[in-house]
Structure 1
Amino acid sequence: MSNEQITLTAGTAEATLHPANGGRLTGLRIAGTELLRQGERYGCFPMVPWCGRTRDGRFRDGATVHQLPLNSPPHAIHGTARNAPWATARVTPTEAVLTYDLSEPWPYPGRVTQVVTLAEDSLTLAMAVETYGSSFPAQIGWHPWFHRSLDGSEVSLDFAPAWQEERGEDHLPTGNRVEPRPGPWDDCFGMPEGVDVTLTWPGRLALTVASRERWVVVYDEQEEAVCVEPQTGPPNGLNTLPRLVTPLEPLEATTTWTWRPA
């Protein structure tokens, strides 16, 4: 794996990217404080061309059923891009553009472009999936691992979802929408006006994860970190809520993280 690191800076904010490690954001430091859990599997990775779990690793496109590797048995999880090297297309002091060409085990050729833009008080992640040929279903999302504690200040989550996807024993949505339930969570929530989740470390920092997308997965079952994952559809969405990438219309999504003192 290449050790190429890209560092963006804006004011007291610093973002670090590792293209060879799945196009991953490996660090986000605000005034010297690291917000993301460190480690090869952590930081914030792009979920593409699907998000979360795909049931039994199988999805249907018309009459064709495709089988994906079961990297989280009995399911396939989080796409292929997080385990692959990305290419660096362009870098400025505050922006990086990375690309990834879809390939086996994904059955369709295409290209993913990710643009990371840093400002003094925000970070914007934008992604687009384009096809080289036929149309295909896909999803886009991001999986950040935020530290649960910053210098002893424990994070709290504030969000008001319209519903929670009922989770079955297989960790996939059952298809029923229920009233939001208290955590701990490894659950998908619907926010039809757009994702809007604020993480607050009292006395330290408040960070809002926002997106025009309607779906967010919240995972807080680990002691070290919490995850707030905006995405273009629910888990198993390749089967239940497919979004098509066509030659005329790529699949695009954006999330912006904005911070302020708490």
Structure 2
Amino acid sequence: MSLDTLHLQDGITRLALAPGIGGAVANWSVIATGQPLLRHADERALAAGTPRLLGCYPLAPWSNRITEGGFDNPEGWLALAANADNSPLPIHGSAWQQPWEVIEHSERSVLLRLDSQVPFAYRAEQRFELNEGRLMIHLQVTHQADTPMWHGIGLHPYFPRTSHTGLQASAEQVWYCDAASLPTHLSALPAHWNFDEERQLPAVHTDNAFIGWTGQARIIEPQAGYSLEIGSDQGIYLLFCPEGKPFFCFEPVSHPVNAHHMSGKPGLVLLQPKQSHSLTLSLQYRPLS
């Protein structure tokens, strides 16, 4: 596993990537102040060799947990084993657990690629671009197996969190979950999860999928003096706010948790050989006046 990092900068922000650690973002920060805009990863975090200690990583060919030991495809059952030491279920696909190849690299842009055979053949590409304080990530997955498979996609960024961190992210409904973070029922938004207007992050443990997202959101850090404007082409986000931690996750994804076992497989895409599925996320840094 390579611990080498690649660097981009646009005069306002600087990005460090760790292609050998799951194609992950290690750090994204403001050049003038050093302010981290994603959770900061030090040398110890990089040496641990897992994207789960870094700033952001790709989710493919699915997001989050899958139950029942696999899922059904048109050509038959795909068996899956647990793939993380902190989860009894297969989680987040396989792209985050493999090294990625650097295809292109310039001052403001990088293209990474992964040709995976696990759990089936697919190619994933990530294009990272910096421009005037804006980070754009485009993730695309192309199905390479001979038979069709259900695909999902997502990104898993970790953001700094303080007691004053605010979020604005309009959605229509939320999936309630059980103790294993598996969805139980879809419901209207309770007050503490209604982010139509800016509000502080919930004090209660949150690990839920929000449906009917507009694709626009904003993170506000008043003490650190900046905001992040979020844009995505997806209509679902996962919000993960672990209690007592200095970070939270706001994850644009194509499908709710365990969609492989929901009626109609909502948000999943059945890809034929050579067909592709993609996701775009933009994060715009804005100093607060």
**CA RMSD for the aligned pairs?**
1.8
3-state DSSP of counterpart to 1:144: strand
Q: Which residue of 1 aligns with 2:173?
A: 163
**What code does the residue aligned with 1:45 have?**
Y
For the pair 1:135 / 2:145, whether they are aligned, the reply is no
Q: Which residue of 2 aligns with 1:216?
A: 237
Give 1:67 shift. Answer: 2.0
Give the count of matched residue pairs: 256
Give 1:261 shift. Answer: 1.2
For the pair 1:112 / 2:114, whether they are aligned, the reply is no
**What code does the residue aligned with 2:250 have?**
V
Q: Which residue of 2 aligns with 1:99?
A: 113
Q: Which residue of 2 aligns with 1:250?
A: 276
Structure having the higher strand fraction is: 1
- Asked if the contact 1:55/1:74 (under 8 Å) is kept, the reply is no
List gaps (5 residues or longer) in structure 2.
47-52, 193-201
- 1:73-88 maps to which residues of 2 (within 5 A)? 73-88=87-102
Give the Cα–Cα distance (whole angstroms) in 1 for the partners of residues 214 and 168 of structure 2: 16
Q: Which residue of 1 aligns with 2:25?
A: 25
Give 1:128 shift. Answer: 0.9
Give the Cα–Cα distance (whole angstroms) in 2 for the partners of residues 51 and 209 of structure 1: 19
Give 1:92 shift. Answer: 0.9
- Asked if the contact 2:242/2:248 (under 8 Å) is kept, the reply is yes
Return the match for 2:56 from 44, 50, 65. Answer: 44
- Asked if the contact 1:8/1:93 (under 8 Å) is kept, the reply is yes
Q: Which residue of 1 aligns with 2:13?
A: 13
Give the Cα–Cα distance (whole angstroms) in 1 for the partners of residues 253 and 222 of structure 2: 27
Give the Cα–Cα distance (whole angstroms) in 2 for the partners of residues 163 and 180 of structure 1: 9
Give the Cα–Cα distance (whole angstroms) in 1 for the partners of residues 154 and 231 of structure 2: 12
TM-score (norm 1): 0.91
Judging changes above 3 Å, is the alpha-carbon distance between structure 1 residues 58 and 247 closer, same or farther for their aligned structure 2 residues? closer
List gaps (5 residues or longer) in structure 1.
none
- 1:177-192 maps to which residues of 2 (within 5 A)? 177-180=187-190, 182=192, 183=202, 184=204, 185-192=206-213
Give the Cα–Cα distance (whole angstroms) in 1 for the partners of residues 21 and 261 of structure 2: 28
Q: After TM superposition, which residue ranges in structure 1, 4 or more long, deviate above 3 angstroms?
A: none
TM-score (norm 2): 0.83
Deviates more, 1:61-70 or 1:217-226: 61-70
Q: Percent same amino acid among aligned pairs?
A: 25
Give the Cα–Cα distance (whole angstroms) in 2 for the partners of residues 181 and 244 of structure 1: 36
Give the Cα–Cα distance (whole angstroms) in 1 for the partners of residues 230 and 190 of structure 2: 19
Q: Deviations over 1:51-74 (max 9, x none)?
A: 011124421112622222213543
3-state DSSP of counterpart to 2:96: helix
